[in-house]
């Protein structure tokens, strides 16, 4: 099984305007934001505040107005402990002075082992403009973007069917060059039947066959989604949180 850790550090270094080695340091790292080519493009603007950990230190890129506060915080709180609620409350209080608030934490996964699909459902694959037919369908808020987004286009969709009815969809968007984020939606009446695990496994394997990197994200308390990721051969790898304007 290919390890994607080095490639992840290169990607995060672009987004946090630092060196890949900065994620292996014992001390926390603070940088100024930059819009570097090859990053994930979730916004056209520079970060006001964004923080990431792979379980060791924390790396933060933030507007220079925040640097005195963050330098003081890092003097008191080490490593990934800045993701604990007490520190996040401090950060939230400081951000509010500038009209910003924290988002939820994003818990991100990379593949760690190969898995083969175990269940069997009829499926159809869609790529390119064939995916556009699904935009605006409220059944699929996680598998695909709400609309076509050229900066992070949906690349592949696989749907499971019961007759003519879609019972689940997994899709991936290319959030950075060759980085495909997987999302999954299963119709409520077909959950806990293995549909999500089947589709995510199929899509993960297809992405790797094409030479790209699949990754997966979910919320801290969404353990149904966590279990799908883990059973499909992913492992929790990094956590991020950023600020948005109020």
Q: What is the pLDDT of residues 42-82, one digit of tens each?
A: 999 999 999 999 999 999 999 999 999 999 999 999 999 99
Q: Are 239 and 106 in contact (CB under 8 A)?
A: yes
What average pLDDT score do residues 16-30 get?
97
The predicted pLDDT at position 64 comes to: 98
Contacts 24+ apart (CB under 8 A), 61-64: 61/15, 61/16, 61/17, 61/18, 61/30, 61/31, 61/32, 61/33, 61/34, 62/30, 62/31, 62/32, 62/33, 63/32, 63/33, 63/98, 64/32
Given a cut of 70, is residue 2 above it in pLDDT? no
Identify whether residues 190 and 98 lie together within a single domain.
Answer: no
Given a cut of 50, is residue 1 above it in pLDDT? no
The predicted pLDDT at position 116 comes to: 93
Which of the four pLDDT bands, split at 50, 70 and 90, describes residue 211?
very high
Asked if residue 128 is part of any domain, the answer here is yes
Identify whether residues 223 and 124 lie together within a single domain.
Answer: yes
Identify whether residues 54 and 88 lie together within a single domain.
Answer: yes
Question: 0.85 exceeded by the pTM?
Answer: yes
Range of the domain at 167: 113-235
Identify whether residues 120 and 165 lie together within a single domain.
Answer: yes
Asked if residue 241 is part of any domain, the answer here is no
Identify whether residues 151 and 221 lie together within a single domain.
Answer: yes
């Amino acid at each position: 099984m290919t390890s994607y850790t080095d490639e992840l550090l290169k990607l995060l270094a672009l987004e946090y305007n630092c060196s890949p080695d900065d994620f292996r340091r014992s001390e926390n790292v603070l940088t100024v934001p930059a819009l570097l080519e090859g990053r994930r493009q979730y916004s056209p603007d520079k970060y006001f505040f964004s923080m990431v950990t792979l379980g060791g230190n924390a790396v933060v890129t933030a507007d220079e107005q925040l640097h005195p506060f963050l330098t003081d915080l890092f003097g008191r709180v080490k490593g990934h402990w800045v993701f604990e609620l007490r520190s996040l409350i401090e950060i939230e209080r400081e951000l509010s002075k500038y009209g910003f608030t924290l988002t939820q934490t994003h818990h991100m996964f990379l593949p760690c082992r190969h898995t083969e699909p175990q269940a069997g459902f009829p499926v159809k694959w869609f790529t390119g403009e064939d995916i556009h037919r699904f935009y605006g369908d409220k059944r699929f808020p996680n598998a695909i973007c709400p609309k076509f987004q050229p900066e992070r286009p949906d690349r592949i969709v696989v749907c499971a069917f019961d007759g003519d009815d879609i019972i689940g969809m997994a899709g991936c968007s290319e959030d950075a060059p060759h980085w495909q984020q997987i999302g999954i939606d299963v119709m409520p009446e077909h959950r806990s039947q293995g549909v999500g695990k089947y589709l995510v496994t199929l899509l993960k394997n297809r992405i790797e066959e094409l030479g790209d990197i699949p990754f997966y994200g979910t919320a801290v308390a969404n353990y149904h989604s966590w279990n799908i990721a883990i059973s499909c051969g992913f492992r929790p790898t990094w956590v991020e949180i950023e600020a948005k304007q109020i």
